[in-house]
Chain A
């Protein structure tokens, strides 16, 4: 049972464009929604996170949009750069457990 569904699996964006990754969850007990960035050969790194009482959170070029009624949230990367090329994971936390999406491989073309 996949509790957090992430799409797309892979994404190619031109430099300067907007990268959008979407996630949907099922369990309404989740109360924290982080995003992680992972480079090859490295562990994931916490990028940005949001709580369900907020509809949007922005940190630099990264923005999370959250729709509680639809049980969906998304990551927007503005002005995407080649250095943003990595795998991105959405996740949802509840009851001291964090469930991860399957990941999105982002490639930003120079």
Chain B
């Protein structure tokens, strides 16, 4: 049972490049989330999907887009990467509908030069 799987684990981009971070969960959870983690700032919510077919902005959505492809998959896209987006990105899922993430992936470490 894999839980929440994120790909890739590491990525280096140049400023202006685009990329998509992939996330899949195999727990049949309804809700999925994208967070970024920066030193000394905890985790900040970028976007979330309360259920299949819906997405909403979190605390720091600027510069990102998301797609809830199906119940299992929730992707995060950087259209034009900026150095300020250098961070560790975590995907999470939850069975309950209250907004609190229950299971996290192990993260994607993204560096933008």
Seen from chain A, the residues whose Cβ lies within 8 Å of a Cβ on chain B are 4, 6, 9, 31-32, 34, 41-46, 49, 89, 91, 93-103
Contact = CB atoms under 8 A, between A and B. Distances in A.
A89 B103 CA distance: 14
A108 to B, nearest CB: 21
A97 B99 contact: yes
A42 B108 CA distance: 10
A10 B86 CA distance: 24
Interface residues on B, range: 20 to 34
Contacts of B103: 46
Interface of B: 4, 33, 40-45, 48, 50, 56, 58-59, 90, 92, 97-107
B contact face: mostly helix, strand, loop, or mixed:
loop
A100 B99 contact: no
Contacts of B105: 43
Contact of A45 (B33, B48, B104): B104
